[in-house]
Amino acid sequence: MPRGLLFLAGAIAAEVVATSALKASEGFTRLWPSLVVALGYGVAFYLLSLTLRTIPVGIAYAIWSGIGVVLIALIGWAVLKQPLDAPALLGIALIVAGVLVIQLFSKASAH
């Protein structure tokens, strides 16, 4: 896997961890979840900055946000028991399809 994609995968993972901890931070009133949020977003943005050395910002951000949205929706469903109705599932499928189109067919995403 190219280095830029490894940095991007790490950025996505860190952002998903940070976003998942937001609810537990209770508006940044709980110390440990708040630290997870701050550290996670810091790591995510640092790794995203490294990603941008080899992947254009628009492509990197589209992949980062798209995969992040899908993972957070799935965590909300599986862990927080938040329901996903048919339109939500369709939207998630379209996001995944968009990321795949970028990765598989776009020359702009060359790395």
Orientation angle between helical segments 3-25 and 57-78, nearest 10 degrees:
40
User: Mean pLDDT score of the chain, rounded to an integer?
Assistant: 94
Which helix (H) or strand (E) is 49 found in, with range? helix 31-51
Neighbouring C-beta atoms of residue 37, cutoff 10 Å = 21
pLDDT in tens, 61-109: 999 999 999 999 999 999 999 999 999 999 999 999 999 998 888 887 6
For position 1, what pLDDT does the model report?
78
pTM of the entire predicted model: 0.90
* pLDDT higher than 60, residue 111: no
Tokens of residue 20, six digits: 């998942």
Using the structure block, give the residue that is written with the tokens 């951000």.
Answer: 61
**Composition of the chain by helix, strand, coil, percent to 5:** 80, 0, 20
pLDDT given for residue 109 in this prediction: 64
Question: Any idea which residue has 């992949």 for tokens?
Answer: 63
pLDDT score of 110 more than 70: no
